[in-house]
Amino acid sequence: MARPRPAAFEKVKTVAENRRARYEYFLEDFFEAGIALTGTEVKSLRFGEGSIAESYAEVKDGQVWLVNSNVPEFSHGNRFNHEPKRPRKLLLHEREIEKMRNAVAREGMTLIPLSIYFNGRGRAKVELALAKGKKLHDKRETVKERDWKRDQQRLLRERG
């Protein structure tokens, strides 16, 4: 029998975060994926370097790839250094890949990386989300709601 998965992913050290994703997209399903990295990429990530602000994931030939993520070259990597913006393979179960492929193909959704982090066992992971793009009026509504919550908290602090 399969072990039940925890509701939230165990994030020990967050390396990179895509903060604009929650503003730009409606996030629906969340996945945790491993990343196939070379040695210098891991070292660079452990130093806290890396960016996923402009990146996305795509399903190609039954595999999921992280495209346009930036992991800068390791300072002491010499000739064994990696290419900073190369596509990186994400490690997922086949039924998760199939679910992603169907959602992207049928429902017009996008695979967005939310964060790169190290879990409790020291493995580099990517948190992915199936997302649908927001229209301009949806973004305005998000800003209005966020401002109202901030004002609400301020009022409660003043009165309480």
Identify the burial level of 86 via C-beta atoms within 10 angstroms of its C-beta, where 0-12 means exposed, 13-18 middle and 19 or more buried: middle
What is the reported pLDDT for 12? 85
pLDDT per residue as tens digits for the range 40-82 = 888 889 988 899 999 999 999 999 999 999 998 888 777 778 8
CATH class of the 13-134 domain in this structure: mainly beta
| Domain residue ranges of the chain, discontinuous segments joined by + | 13-134
The enclosing H or E element of 14 equals strand 13-17
pLDDT at 40: 87
At residue 87, the 3 state secondary structure works out as coil
Cα atoms in the 13 Å half-sphere on the side-chain side of 19: 3
Q: How does residue 16 score in pLDDT terms, banded at 50, 70 and 90?
A: very high
Residue whose token pair is 């948190």 = 127
- What percent of the chain is modeled with pLDDT above 90? 59
Per-residue pLDDT reduced to its tens digit, 118-146:
998 999 999 999 999 989 999 999 999 99
Q: Map residue 121 onto helix, strand or coil.
A: coil
Q: Label residues 2-21 b or e (16+ Cβ within 10 Å = b).
A: eeeeeeeeebeeebbbbeeb
Q: CB of 115 within 8 A of CB of 17?
A: yes
In this predicted structure, the answer to whether residue 99 has a pLDDT above a threshold of 90 is yes
pLDDT band at residue 2, thresholds of 50, 70 and 90? low
